Structure 1
Amino acid sequence: MRAGFQRQSLVLASASAARRALMAGVGLTVDLQPADLDEEGVRQANPDLGPADMAVRLAEAKAVAVSRMRPGVLVLGGDQILDDDGEIVSKADDLVAIAARLRGFRGRTHHLHSGAALARDGAVFWRHVDTAALTVRDFSDAWLATYLEAEGTALTDVVGGYRLEGPGAQLFSRIEGDYFTVLGLPLWAVLDALREQGVIAR
């Protein structure tokens, strides 16, 4: 049952358990419907977009794809891009690749761009992106081995090879930016937009 302050249905066009948990954590019920989207195709079709703009573009594409299948329903799309000195980093295929990636991050700062978009009937009417800077500490190889063993192949589901809400928080010496942005959604901006649309009470 939706909380009393949620006035309309909302569809989340994402397979992300973290995004769904974020919405549930603030008392919102969402219908989860992942978009059938060729993300690599979207990237190749927009070669001039930087990492932050690409996060928004992918969020828009997800929202549009699902809203076309759900007439009249408000759809929220979200996407996150890992930006390593201007290079867009994709999810790793296995723990060997994740280990190499995390070693490459060691002692350096990378950025996460979390984009969001709202669409209805195939048309986007709101979009937003927020960025966080994450500085990875100079961890030991022994710590890394323990971390990978503890987290396992679930790390292949997250682009950076870490979950800030889990042991991955120990990777960092400093984070500048919003916690929710790191988890994958610019939550404060999304909530403001939902209030504007009358989905939740002001």
Structure 2
Amino acid sequence: MTRGLWLADMPLVLASGSATRRGMLEAAGIPVETSPAMIDERNVDDAARRAGAAAATVAALLARAKAMEVSARYPGRLVLGADQTLACEGRQYDKPANVAEGREHLAAFSGRAHHLHSAAALVKDGGLVAETQSSAELTMRRLGPEFIDAYVTAVGRKVMTSVGGYQLEGLGSQLFDRIDGDHFTILGLPLLPLMGHLRAAGYLAE
């Protein structure tokens, strides 16, 4: 643990297997133990959308549901749930189900702006400690079918591992003309406001 910065006796429990989120937290001096949530994300997502929830709200509901489920298995521990959703021109998108769908998503985003919504929820003993959400707007350049094919061939099955079909920290940077928003939000965690909540709750040094 990073003594003097992280004030709790035990690491933060991350309700996710995401290496990217874990890496962001650890780089910020927050010790992490991972325990992926055992929820049916699609059921939560579908119910929220049927109720007319916006993409940002869906991300917040998923983050909270993940944290609550893991909190039930880790009494006395602080648990972090996180999720990210994408919306483009009124339509919400999930992670591509296969490589072909990844191509379709990239073609749909080509020449358009889309929004990433990242949410986080902190839970302890089934009680909500804090939650936060932030958004970013990304404008994709116009992509020809040859470039999309070359990109998908280069990244392979990674096109299925994130909403939008890209990782901005890798080859995904070649897809964009403009990005407006926080880098951590784009990677899937509103890290700066999250750390503010951790400080306010006494888990991080002021």
**CA-atom RMSD, angstroms?**
1.1
Q: Deviation at 1:143? A: 2.2
CA distance in 2, matches of 1:91, 1:187: 22
Report the AA paired with residue 3 of structure 1: T
Offset from partner CA, 1:10-50 (integer Å, 9 cap, x none):
10111222111111221222001110011111123332311
**Which of 188, 193, 198 matches 2:197?**
193
Q: Deviation at 1:93? A: 1.7
Deviates more, 1:4-13 or 1:53-62: 4-13
Unaligned runs of 5+ in 1: none
Match of 2:2?
3
CA distance in 2, matches of 1:139, 1:44: 30
Match of 1:22?
24
Report the AA paired with residue 181 of structure 2: G
TM-score normalised by the chain length of structure 2: 0.94
Match of 1:62?
66
Q: Within the alignment, does 1:37 sit opposite 2:35 as a pair?
A: no
Contact 1:50 1:86 in 2 (8 A): no
Number of aligned positions between the proteins: 201
Instruction: Give secondary structure in 1 for the equivalent of 2:135.
Output: strand
1:44-83 correspondence to structure 2 within 5 Å: 44-46=46-48, 47-83=51-87
Q: Within the alignment, does 1:170 sit opposite 2:169 as a pair?
A: no
Instruction: Give secondary structure in 2 for the equivalent of 1:198.
Output: coil
Offset from partner CA, 1:121-169 (integer Å, 9 cap, x none):
1121211110000100012332222211211102211111000000101
Report the AA paired with residue 6 of structure 1: W
Contact 2:116 2:137 in 1 (8 A): yes
Match of 1:85?
89
Contact 2:72 2:126 in 1 (8 A): yes
Contact 2:120 2:194 in 1 (8 A): yes
Match of 2:163?
159
Contact 2:17 2:36 in 1 (8 A): yes
Match of 2:143?
139
CA distance in 2, matches of 1:162, 1:115: 19
Report the AA paired with residue 7 of structure 2: R
CA distance in 1, matches of 2:16, 2:91: 23
Instruction: Give secondary structure in 2 for the equivalent of 1:107.
Output: coil
Deviates more, 1:127-136 or 1:47-56: 47-56
TM-score normalised by the chain length of structure 1: 0.95
Contact 2:158 2:166 in 1 (8 A): no
CA distance in 1, matches of 2:53, 2:147: 36
